[in-house]
Amino acid sequence: MVNRGHNRKLMEACRPMYEYSWLIDRIRENSRSMGIEKAAVKAMEEMPADFGIRDFLLKNKEEVQMSMLTEYNEEETWRIIAMEERETGSERRLVEQICKKLRKDKDIPQIADEVEEEEKLVKKICDIAAVFAPDYDAEKVFKAVQKKDLKI
């Protein structure tokens, strides 16, 4: 990915790279107030006349729009995947903490207090985990929680 304002030496050495980074920056800016396709067209139209890539981009506007849309959607998809992985990691850590505390025979109010979660949620996880007593295998408990589609 090319980000305007980064890697100045590369941008100075490669004018088309600089121009492309300008375009991507403008598309991002425009997309805050309009759809990505319109943002791409507007950015191409706003591109300075002395940019060497301008004529090529305008001549191939439809292909450029599709390319920009694909790149934007891919970037958004990866962002969503990363966010979901962070959430899953947090859920997994909570289940692991609860399982450790269950192995130490702590009760639900104490566990809820220590993990700083609502007793109702901790109770639901503990109820699922009870099937796996006395070992409380965190991985098995986590999979069971996922199957129940429990919102953590």
Rg (CA), the chain: 25
Provide the pLDDT confidence category of residue 15 given band limits of 50, 70 and 90: confident
pLDDT per position as a tens digit, 53-98 = 888 888 887 887 777 667 666 676 667 667 777 778 889 999 999 9
**Where do the domains of the chain lie?**
8-80, 86-147
pLDDT per position as a tens digit, 102-140 = 999 999 999 999 999 999 999 999 999 999 999 999 999
Question: For residue 77, what pLDDT is reported?
Answer: 62
28: Cβ contacts below 8 Å, ≥ 6 apart = 39
Task: Give buried/exposed letters for 109-145 (b at 16+ CB in 10 A, else e).
Answer: eebbeebebeeebbebbbebbeebeeebebebbbebb
Provide the pLDDT confidence category of residue 1 given band limits of 50, 70 and 90: very low
* pTM score above 0.85: no
